[in-house]
Amino acid sequence: MDSSISVLLFGITRDLTGQSAVSVSLHKNASVADLLAQLHQQFPALMNIRSLLIAVNGEYAETNQVLSPTDEIALIPPVSGG
C-alpha cells in the first residue's frame, strides 16, 4: 500500500519547487533510493543539481535505508556554509 511522506526542502531545491516541503507517495518499506527516484520524477529540474542527499531524523542516510512515515525527512542539496 502506498503511503505519503513529507520531505523538507532547502536552498536551491526550495527555490526550484517553490515549496519548503513536498509530499511524495511511496510504497511501504521504500528506501532512500526509491525516494530520490520519485523526487526526480516529480521534479525533473532536480537533475541539474550537483548532488542530492537525504537526511532522516537529522542524520545523513545511506541509499538503502528504509523509510518510515513517521521519520523527519529532508532533501539536502550541496552545502555551502562557512
Q: Does 74 bind other proteins (CB under 8 A)?
A: yes
Block residue for cell numbers 516529480:
42
Closest approach of other proteins to the CB of residue 14, in Å: 8
Helix (H) or strand (E) holding 15: helix 11-17
The interface with other proteins within residues 8-47 (CB under 8 A) comprises 8, 10-12, 14-15
Q: Does 81 bind other proteins (CB under 8 A)?
A: yes
Distance CA 3, CA 59 (A): 22
**Residue numbers at the binding site for other proteins (CB under 8 A):** 8, 10-12, 14-15, 48-50, 55, 58-60, 74, 76-82
